[in-house]
Amino acid sequence: MTAKTRECLWCGMISTQIPGDIVDRHPEPVCSKCDSPLWSQSDGSTVTVDIAHQRETVSQALDKFSNALNSSWQFSHAEYLRLVVGGGLIRDAVLAELFFLRSKGTVLDFTEENRGAVLVRIRPALL
């Protein structure tokens, strides 16, 4: 399967539609065979991205966070995105952004795994 196709996890039907940015999750198409939502299907996996340990500024880390969120949404079926954020200003900025994104419905939820990592739920679990 290429990045230009998406397989329905429920019935296996191949779709040529790819998701846009995660903020566009609401007009989500459904599988033409089984009527399941195509982009929010999850295989229960977790994508991990370190956004805080290459001497990033807060702005650079937030850009990495945004890119990681969109990449996880567009190119995987992962349920979670684990962000390694460290314990300082980057962590605080990411948590503030996540509060905002959760209030808009862009991300489903998030939890702090520990002081340096945040687990962001981007898709519902498979039933």
Q: What interhelical angle do 89-104 and 58-75 show, nearest 10? A: 40
b/e map 100-121, b = 16+ CB within 10 Å: ebeeeebbbebeeeeebbbbbb
pLDDT tens digits, one per residue of 14-28: 766 667 777 766 666
Give the separation between CA 77 and CA 120, rounded to whole angstroms: 14
Give the separation between CA 122 and CA 48, rounded to whole angstroms: 13
- The pLDDT tens digits along the chain (127 residues) read 445 666 776 666 676 666 777 776 666 677 777 777 777 778 889 999 999 999 999 999 999 999 999 999 888 889 999 999 998 999 999 999 999 999 999 999 999 999 999 999 999 886 5
CA-nearest of 15, 66, 67 to 41 is 15
pTM: 0.80
